[in-house]
Amino acid sequence: MNEQLLSHIRDRLAIFTRVVHEGLPRWTAAQNPDDALAVELEIHQAARLLADWLTAAIFNHILSNLVFQANATRAARAASKTPLRCGGARPVTIRLLGGSRFKATVPYLKPDRRGKRRGRRRKTGRRGKGGQGLYPTLAALGVWSGATAALTAEVVHHMSASDTHQAAFEALARRGIEFNSKATRRIFYDFAHRARQQRDAWIAQVLCRPPSSSGPLAGQRVVVCADGGRLRIRQPARCGRRRAKTRHRGFKAPWKEPKVLVIYTIDEQGRPIESFRPVLDATMGDCEALFEMLAGYLMALGAAQARELLVVADGAPWIWERVGWLAKKLGLDEAKVVEVVDWYHASEAVHRVADVPRWSKSKRARWLKKALKLLQSGRIESLIEALRKLAVGRRAKGIREQVGYFERHKERMRYQHFKQRSIPRGSGAVESAVRRVVNLRLKGCGKFWLRENAEAMLLVRSYLKSGRQADLLSWSLRTAASWWEQPTPAPVLVEADANTVTHDLQAAS
C-alpha cells in the first residue's frame, strides 16, 4: 500500500477526530429537540466531509497511477471511431457525493485534425465537427460531466423522482449537495441524453438480430400494454414581435402525446409475477417508434419463446394495426397472441350510448344494467343489436359511431372467455404508468419541455418507476466506456430481489 496515501488518510482522520473532540462538549449539552436536531446534522455533515476527503485521496491515488493512465489512454484511442491524439495533462474539478470538490490533473485526448484543412476559427463555446475530446481515466471510473458515478446516481434519482427541478435542488441540498442549478441540470441531462442515445442504439441493434431464444420472458404469459399521455412541448416562434428587453420572440407550446409501454408477466391465476420487475419505457416518437421499442425489449427478453402474448389496451387504432407486425417480428404463432380491449373503455362507450336518448334516470339505469351484462358476458353481437335498435332519427349518427366501435373490436371483448382463461381485462397497468411517469412529472401548469429534454426525462423516470434506474445507470456508464468495461447485454436484464421492488400492477389489473 502507498505510504503517502496512508499518511494522507491518517492526517484526515486526525482532523476528524479533533473535530469530534471539540464538538463533544457542545453535543452532549443538547437538552431540547432543536439542539438535538442541530447536533445530528452537524455530525452528519462532519461524516460527509470525512467521506469526501477519503474518496478524493483514493481517487487522486488511482488517477495518478501511470500504468492506469497508459492502459486507459491506449484502450480509448484504439476503440475511438475518430482519430484521437494526446492533448496533454489538464486540471479538472470533480464533484463528490458529499457535496465537496477536489482537483486532479489527468490526461486528455482530443480529436486529431492534423493534416486537415483549417477552417474558420470557432466561436467560444462552439465545438467543431470533429466532436469533443475525452478524459480516458475519468471515463474508466464512470466520471462524466465532472461528477462521480455515485453523485450522478443521486442527482439522476432526485431530478427524476421530484415533481419539479426546484424540489430536486432542495432535496439534494438536504443531502449536502448544494451545487448551483446549472451544474445540477448539466449532470442530469448529460447522463439522460447519453442514456437515451444508448438505448436507441441498443434497440436498433436488437431489431437487426434474430429474437433471443432465452430470457426472463421465455415460457411465460407476457402482458403488453401501450397508451398515450399529454404534455406541452416548447417551440420557439419563428416570427412575431421581439421583446423589448431580451430581444427574444415568444414561443409556442402545443400539446404532444408521449407514448408509454408496459411489459409484465402473470401466473396461471392471472396475477402479476413479482419475481419479474415490469419493464416501463416511453418516447416522444410516433407509433412506429413505440412499437419498434416494444419489439426490441420483447426480442431481447426472450418473448419469442413466450407461452402467450396478451396485448391489453384501449380502442386506439394505432395500437391494434401494429399487433400483427409485432407478432411477426417475434416469430410468434397467431394462436399465442390474444388481443383484449380494456373493459373500462368498452363500458365507457356503452355509457356514451345511454346518454344519447332523453331517458329518465330509472330507464337509463335499467338499460345500462342490461347492456353492461351483455358486455360482461361477451355477447357482443346481442349488444350490437340492442344498440342498433336505438339508432333511429336524430340520435342515429351518435349511436352508429359506437356501433362501429363494438363491431371492430368484438373479438377483443369476449370478457367471459378471458375471465375463464385468467387473462387481464383491464389496461390499468399502463394507465397507472402514464400517470406516474408523465402526469406527475412532465404535465402541469406552466410546464413546457424542449422535445429532447422531455424524451430524456421520460426514459429516466420510466426506469425509476419500474425499479430499474440503478440498472440503467450501471449499463449506461459501462456502455459509455465499453472500451474499458464490458457492458451488460441490455439495461433490463439485471434482476434484483423482487421483494425490494414495489409496484401497483396487482391493483391496476
Which carries the bigger pLDDT value, residue 324 or residue 250? 324
For 295, the enclosing helix (H) or strand (E) is helix 287-300
pLDDT at 355: 87
Neighbours of 250 (CB within 10 A): 11
pLDDT at 402: 87
pLDDT at 135: 94
Confidence of residue 238 (pLDDT cuts 50, 70, 90): confident
Residue 4 pLDDT > 90: no
Q: Are 449 and 233 in contact (CB under 8 A)?
A: yes
Confidence of residue 503 (pLDDT cuts 50, 70, 90): very low
pLDDT at 242: 77
Rounded CA separation 448/254 (Å): 9
Q: What is the CATH number of domain 201-239+249-342+426-508?
A: 3.30.420.60
By CB atoms closer than 10 A (0-12, 13-18, 19+), residue 208 is exposed
pLDDT at 82: 84
Rounded CA separation 304/111 (Å): 43
Task: Please enumerate in sequence order all residues whose Cβ is within 8 A of that of 369, keeping only pairs 6 or more positions apart, or say none.
Answer: none
* Mean pLDDT, range 212-221, rounded to an integer: 90
Least confident of 61-65, 73-77, 234-238, 321-325: 234-238
How are beta strands 251-252 and 255-256 bridged, if at all? unpaired
Rounded CA separation 435/50 (Å): 41
* Mean pLDDT, range 157-173, rounded to an integer: 94
Q: What pTM did the predictor assign?
A: 0.89
Q: What is the DSSP letter of 220?
A: S
Q: Are 344 and 313 in contact (CB under 8 A)?
A: no
Residue 308 pLDDT > 60: yes
* Mean pLDDT, range 148-159, rounded to an integer: 96
User: Phi then psi for 336, rounded to 5 degrees?
Assistant: -90, -10
Rounded CA separation 343/350 (Å): 11
Tell me which residue has cell 410468434.
Answer: 332
Kindly list the domain boundaries of the chain, sorted by start residue. Answer: 3-63, 201-239+249-342+426-508, 344-416
Least confident of 28-42, 232-246, 329-343, 364-378: 232-246
Rounded CA separation 119/117 (Å): 6
* Mean pLDDT, range 50-58, rounded to an integer: 94
88: nearest Cα among 103, 67, 72, 109 = 109
Angle at 70 between CA 67 and CA 75, to 5 degrees: 125
Where is mean pLDDT largest: 294-303, 357-366, 498-507? 294-303
